[in-house]
Amino acid sequence: MSMTDPIADMLTRIRNACGSKHRRVDIPASKLKADLARILLENNYIRDVKTLETEQGRKILRLYLRYAQGDQPVIREVRRVSTPGLRKYVGVSEIPRVRNGLGMAILSTSKGLMTDRQARAAHTGGELLAVVW
């Protein structure tokens, strides 16, 4: 059975792993998911990302989650905004500020995946994929 929304599946796996205090989470790999993981890594929401291959020859992304003092997950909430049933596109002036700048929005633009700050600096809008804080 094919998956309808692989990005939502990835975000749900991360959310569930953080809630269960797991140190790592495995996700089926794709280029979009690898870019999303790279953005989370660059903004210090996760510790590390590795691409592994299973016995069946499929690639998986292994994300190592980051925790603050007292075993509090750094990712407090991650939410999918644009869904396959209702796409959410924003212009450069409509890009949201997540938690007054403490969080970040992830956009899919014509120049690739970007955070909200990068998209504002590049003066480009796009599809609002997710918000993280």
Q: Domain containing 85 — which CATH number?
A: 3.30.1490.10
Kindly state the helix (H) or strand (E) to which residue 47 belongs, with its residue range: strand 46-53
Give domain status of residue 69, yes or no.
yes
pTM of the model: 0.93
Give domain status of residue 14, yes or no.
yes
Give domain status of residue 107, yes or no.
yes
Number of domains in the chain: 1
Give domain status of residue 128, yes or no.
yes
Residue in 16, 28, 34, 9 with CA at minimum distance from that of residue 77 = 16
What's residue 3's pLDDT?
A: 83
Give domain status of residue 1, yes or no.
no
pLDDT digits (tens, 9 = 90+) for 44-78: 999 999 999 999 999 999 999 999 998 899 999 99
Query: Which structural domain, as residue segments, surrounds residue 104?
Result: 6-132
Give domain status of residue 39, yes or no.
yes
